Amino acid sequence: MGVMLIITLTIVFIMEFIVGSLGNGFIAVVNIVDCVKRRNISSVDQILTALAVSRISVLWVVFIDWCFFAVYPASLITGCIIRIMYISWTVTNHFSIWLATSLSIFYFFKIAVFSNSMFLYLKWRFKKVVSVAMLLSLFLLFLNILMINTHINTVINESRRNASYTFIERTYPQFFRFLLFPSFIFTFIPFIVSLTAFLLLIFSLWRHLKNMQHNTKGCRDISTTAHIKALKMVVVFLMLYICFFLSIVAIVWASELENIQITLFAKATLTTFPAVHSCVQILGHSKLRQALRSVLQWVRFRSDKRSLHP
């Protein structure tokens, strides 16, 4: 039963890895080709392209970590490998989360309707708002890496003083316990930003519908449709974000129990965020959706042509 579960989780993980890599790669290629043709790229396409590249990096980091976890024995994993693995994860995951948060900020400023002077000031300077947010996130990234490096150095020094334990036997449980706190702190901040944008979008929609009460019942204007579409995108993002949080908790918990099944399940769930969200973005973006339809039609045409002329 345990072996079958591990095989099943491995297959699920590989499928998520493939879907995520193809989905994010498709987003990046479509936007880059469109940029070359038009010699211009919109703000949202810039964010989507950067987000796709960062998520491909996240998927590869998790994939390599999965291979190390599944293939290499604990005694062969050194402190240098641990450092490279988790700093790579921290950097790629940081940009993935903050770029997705920037997308939520974009939806808010693009669609929300408020007469507040501060809101209007920030709305007209959306690019500067995103730039400042990313600069502040770099400071948080620096703190996060500093904390990880400090802790790894401490654990390495302790393991050298006690030669009766291998590095990995001492590092994994301690490092995962330590990982829980900074992971929540440094990923909870962009989550709060996205949640705030979501709540303000709901408030904006409520005010807009209140102002439209004199219209025919059931009639939807462009602004209402845009609000609802943006809210759907942000809701999916927040739900996947929550799964991401729970996956981190499960990984830490599994390290305490030394349960490989829970660890593999948590890592497979962790991959759902960058994999599934890319598919949601393709279906929710008109240009990407049209490009996907064109690709599928081309593939279908090629397959029909081959069947007619074997």
Domains of the chain: 2-288 (1.20.1070.10)
- Asked if pLDDT for residue 243 goes beyond 80, the answer is yes
> What pLDDT does 219 receive?
46
What's the confidence (pLDDT) of residue 79?
66
**pTM given for the model:** 0.84
pLDDT at 160 over 70: no
Instruction: Judge whether residue 218 has pLDDT over 50.
Output: no
**pLDDT of res. 310:** 55
Q: How confident is the model at residue 291 (pLDDT cuts 50, 70, 90)?
A: confident
Q: What is the mean pLDDT of residues 255-266?
A: 70
**Residue 70: pLDDT over 50:** yes
Of 193, 184, 182, 175, the residue nearest 144 (C-alpha): 182
- pLDDT confidence of 24, banded at 50, 70, 90? very high
Phi-psi sector, 108: left (phi>0), alpha (psi -120 to 50), beta: alpha
